[in-house]
Amino acid sequence: MNQRSIMENHKVVSKEEWVTARKEHLKKEKEFTRQRDELRKESRALPWLKIEKNYKFEYVNGKVTLSDLFDGKSQLIIYHFMLGPEWEEGCSGCSFLADSYNGAEIHLKHRDVSFVTVSRAPLKKINEYKKRMGWNITWLSSFGSEFNFDFNVSFTEEEKKEGKVYYNYDMNDYFSDEGPGISVFYKNNNGEIFHTYSTYQRGLDQFIVPYHLLDIVPKGRDEEGLNFGMEWLRHHDKYGEDSACCK
């Protein structure tokens, strides 16, 4: 979007007119905030699914269980990061999101929440990429586990051949060996674990801070005319290169 088209679409007015227009729009923003609060309340009221499998993950000190990931908290958030066993680097879209939540763990721990990142790549590859990106996040490998497949963020060779995968609660055309998502769990005093919520695709948008900052500037996300929305995106150490967004 060029400067001329931006200027043509906006009037320049007096301060009084500007404040009047802003206050009128503020009414809609407040209504949106109330609707969002109500929607999140409904999300928290959804029924739960008891986890019956004893999932194992690889971490710095060896094997850990899903229960261990709670780290003394009753609530757990897992980000399903697209980094497959054969991949050379993580998806730039997932990296974009990780740039936003890097540093969040310390705050969440003070609200009875543990936050971890999980990928199917071997731990060595995860740690190398984590070091490259400069993140201070808890990132585990689910390599050899059914975890990613059970939560519909990794897809089999059979699904790839058929060209269809179950993702975001529906059948979709195959798009990658891995998909992004967030899943939430609760552990009660008896040690029972429940799956309470998962979201995928545009449901992850709400967690990407740079996108919401872009939403308030005149050009917005400025993605019209691109082949796909995140075509402009690069890993934060690769801007200026012509590498593709996602695998």
Residue 139: inside a domain: yes
Q: How far is CA 137 from CA 95, 109, 126, 159, in A?
A: 12, 13, 11, 31
Residue 96: inside a domain: yes
Under 8 Å between Cβ of 106 and 129: no
Q: Give the number of C-alpha atoms closer than 13 A to the C-alpha of residue 169, restricted to the C-beta side.
A: 6
Residues 6+ apart with CB under 8 A from 91: 81, 82, 83, 178, 180, 245, 246, 247
Question: What's the pLDDT tens digit per position in 189-208?
Answer: 999 999 999 999 999 999 99
**Containing domain of residue 111, as a range?**
49-207
Distance CA 83, CA 180 (A): 10
Residue 149 is predicted with a pLDDT of 97
Residue 181: inside a domain: yes
Residue 199: inside a domain: yes
Q: At what angle do helices 123-133 and 92-101 cross, to 10 degrees?
A: 70
Considering only 7-16, 45-54, 111-120, 207-216, which range has the smallest mean pLDDT? 7-16
CATH code of the domain in which 100 resides: 3.40.30.10
Distance CA 112, CA 119 (A): 23
Question: What's the pLDDT tens digit per position in 222-246?
Answer: 998 899 889 999 999 999 876 655 5
Residue 10 is predicted with a pLDDT of 83
Per DSSP bridges, beta strands 181-187 and 193-200 are antiparallel
When pLDDT is cut at 50, 70 and 90, the band that residue 6 belongs to is confident
Output the average pLDDT for the chain: 94
Residue 118: inside a domain: yes
Identify residue 231 by its one-letter amino acid code: E
Residue 247 has pLDDT above 50, yes or no: no
Residue 246 is predicted with a pLDDT of 54
When pLDDT is cut at 50, 70 and 90, the band that residue 88 belongs to is very high
Residue 63: inside a domain: yes
How large is the average pLDDT for residues 23-43?
A: 98
Residue 56 has pLDDT above 90, yes or no: yes
Residues above pLDDT 90, as percent of the chain: 89
Residue 241 is predicted with a pLDDT of 76
Residue 116 is predicted with a pLDDT of 98
Distance CA 71, CA 78 (A): 13
Residue 243: inside a domain: no
Residue 73: inside a domain: yes
Question: What's the pLDDT tens digit per position in 154-171?
Answer: 999 999 999 999 999 999
What is the reported pTM? 0.93
When pLDDT is cut at 50, 70 and 90, the band that residue 7 belongs to is confident
Length of the chain: 247
In the chain, the number of structural domains is 1
End-to-end CA distance of the chain: 27
Identify residue 82 by its one-letter amino acid code: M
